[in-house]
A = this chain, B = another copy of it.
Amino acid sequence: MGMGRPREFNAETALDQAMEVFWRHGYEGATIAQLTEAMGINPPSLYACFGNKEGLLKAALDRYTKLRGVWMDEVVAAPTARDVAERMLMGIAEKQTDPANPPGCLLVQGGIACGSGSENVPFELAARRAQNEDQLRDRFVRAKAEGDLKPTSDPAALARYVSAVSVGMGVMASSGSDREALRQVAVVAVQAVEAQSADRT
């Protein structure tokens, strides 16, 4: 039996375009018409490949978190907890205002509140953000074990904090804050992590 007509579009390239539409308009604000036009395909191709609108979102999120994961690995590779926070938040100030992408973060812009029928979309995004937070927490646990963070510090709370600041910066970026404003926030935010760091000998 034959293997059928091969697909004429590249799934990853198409996903990049879909990602941008979701990023800019949110899950509910993005229409199939906008998505198909950006992806350069027709609705039947979209549904054959991704199932439905939510399936397309998940695929776009997978791609987003995969690309972001590479960067996060560099972030947690910083030598100290303070440097991890700085590299993370300063990097976010850059990325969230990169004119090559829509402002803000897809994991926030994608949809914080949704209508009936899409209630699980916000949870889907939250689950991806939690992955980042877990990665930070693990790194801070290590920092505490290494004596980099004070014995009284709470790595999980620190990770939650850095994650919260990241999200807040994303919302600011999407509503017009420029890169310099975000950098100022990052600089202040890092000082809280510094306050939890052991004194240098």
**Given that A112-B112, A123-B175 are contacting pairs, would A118 and B164 also be in contact in the complex, using a CB cutoff of 8 Å?**
no
Q: Mark A123-139, 1 if CB is under 8 A from B, else 0.
A: 10110010000000000
**A68-121, CB < 8 A from B:** 104, 108-116, 118
Judged by a CB distance under 8 angstroms, whether A198 is at the interface is: no
Q: Is the CB of A113 within 8 A of B174?
A: yes
B188-A196 in contact (CB<8A): yes
Taking a contact as CB atoms closer than 8 A, the residue among B30, B115, B194 that contacts A31 in the complex is: B115
Known contacts being A29-B114, A115-B31, is A122 close to B174, with CB within 8 Å? Answer: yes
Can you name 11 A-B pairs with beta carbons within 8 Å?
Answer: A25-B114, A29-B115, A34-B116, A111-B113, A122-B174, A157-B185, A157-B187, A161-B184, A166-B168, A167-B172, A191-B192
Q: Decide: A29 near B168, CB < 8 A? Known: A188-B158, A194-B195, A196-B191.
A: no
A189 within 8 A of B: yes
CB-CB nearest in chain B for A102: B113
Minimal Cβ-Cβ distance residue in B for A157: B184
Q: Indicate whether A164 sits within 8 Å of B172 (C-beta atoms), given known contacts A109-B113, A192-B189.
A: yes
